[in-house]
Structure 1
Amino acid sequence: MHGWRCHSVCDHVSTLCVLALQVQGELAVVDKTNAQVQSFARVNFVSACEAAINEQINIEYNVSYVYHSLFAYFDRDNVALPGMAAFFKAGSEEEREHAELLMQYQNVRGGRVRLASIIQPEVDFNHAEKGDALYAMELALSLEKLNFQKLRELHDVASDANDAQMCDFIEGTLLAPQVQSVKQVAEYVSQLRRVGKGLGVWEFDRKLKADVDAGLVA
C-alpha cells in the first residue's frame, strides 16, 4: 500500500516537471517571436521618427548634465552664488524631465528607447574677463538655442513622415516651453552684462534665488 502511494506521488511529480518544462519552452518561443521583435502598439511610426526621438533624448540628458555641473560649481563654498546654483539645479531637473517625456512618448508609439553616451562636462566655469555668472549664463543661452534648433529638426522629421500626432506632441509639450526658456535666459544674459562682476552679481543672484524659490523661473 505504501509503495503504491509512493509510486503514484513520484509519477505525479514527474508529470508536473514535464509540464513545467513544456510551459517554459512555450514561453521562450512566445518571448522570442513576439515581444522582443515588434511592439503591438506601433501604428504608422516610421524608423526615422524613432531614431530622431532617441537623438533628442540624448541631447536633453547632455544639457541636463552640463546644468548639473554648473549647479555643483555655484554651490561651492568659494563661489557661493545660491541663486545661480538653484537656477541650474532646476534647469537640470527640467531637461531630465523632458528626456523622460520623450522616453514615455517613444514607448507610447511603440518605439524602442536607445540611450547613448553622455559627454563629461567641465567642472570650472570661471572667466577672467566676464566672470563666472555671465559666462555660465551665456553658455546656458547657447545650449537653450541649440536645444530649440534640435527640437525644430525633430519636428521636421515628424512633418516629413506626415506624423501629425508627433508634430502636435513636439509643438505643445516641448517647443512652446523651449521658446520661453530661450527668452528668459537671454534676459538674464542682458542683465548680467549690465551689472558687471562686482556687487551687481550678488544682487542679481539674490533676486534669482527668490524667483526660483517662488516658482517664477521657467
Structure 2
Amino acid sequence: MFAYFDRDNVALKGLAKFFKECSLEEREHAEKLMEYQNKRGGKVKLQSILMPYSEFDHVEKGDALYAMELELSLEKLTNEKLLNLHTVTERNHDVQFRGRRVEAIKKISEYEAHLRRVGKGHGVWHFDQMLLHDGAVA
C-alpha cells in the first residue's frame, strides 16, 4: 500500500507514510514472534504467501477508503490469529507473548470512518495532509 500511495500519479504522501509505518510495525512483530518461537525451542518455517494487491482503485469508494478497509481487515485477521496464539500460550502457562492489536484496530477503524465521511477528491487530500504533517487524524 505504501508503494501505491507513494507513486507519482497517486502522490498521497501521508497515506504512503502511514502504510509504510504499518508495514514496519508488522515486520517488527513478525521478528518478535520468530524470536519467541526460537526461545521456546521451536523452529521458524517461512512459507510462500500470496502476492499482495498493487492497485487500489475502486470506482465507488476511491483508493484511500478501499486501502484502509483492506488494512482494517488485515488487522482484524492478525488479531484473531494472535488471540488463538494467546490461548495456546495460556494453556501452556507461558504468558510472555502479548500484543496491542486492539489500539491499532481502533485507530484504523477511525481512519476508515473519516475517509467514508470525506468521500473521494479533496477530502482525501486533506486527510492525507493531516497524516503527513500531524501523524494522526483527529
TM normalised by structure 2 equals 0.93
Unaligned runs of 5+ in 1: 1-69
1:118 alignment counterpart: 49
* Higher RCO by CA contacts (8 Å cutoff, separation 6 or greater): 2
User: Aligned in 2, Cα 1:157/1:207: closer, same or farther, shift over 3 Å?
Assistant: same
Q: Helix, strand or coil for the counterpart of 1:169?
A: coil
Q: Matches of residues 1-218 of structure 1 in structure 2 within 5 Å?
A: 70-159=1-90, 162-165=91-94, 168-171=95-98, 174=99, 177-212=100-135
For 1:211 and 1:153, locate their aligned partners in 2 and report how far apart those are by CA, in whole Å.
35
For 1:194, give the aligned amino acid: R
**AA of the residue aligned to 2:30:** A
Q: Deviations over 1:66-112 (max 9, x none)?
A: xxxx1000001110000000011111111010010011111111111
Is the partner of 2:76 in helix, strand or coil?
helix
Structure 2 stretches of 5 or more lacking a match?
Answer: none
1:211 CA displacement: 3.3
> Residues of 2 paired with 1:211 and 1:100: CA distance?
28
Are the equivalent residues in 2 in contact too, given 1:131–1:197 (CA < 8 A)?
yes
TM-score (norm 1): 0.60
In structure 2, C-alpha distance between the alignment counterparts of 1:211 and 1:164, rounded to whole Å: 42
Structure richer in helix, relative to its length: 1
- Greater Cα radius of gyration, structure 1 or 2: 1
- Identical columns (%): 58
CA contact (8 A) 1:151 1:170 kept: no
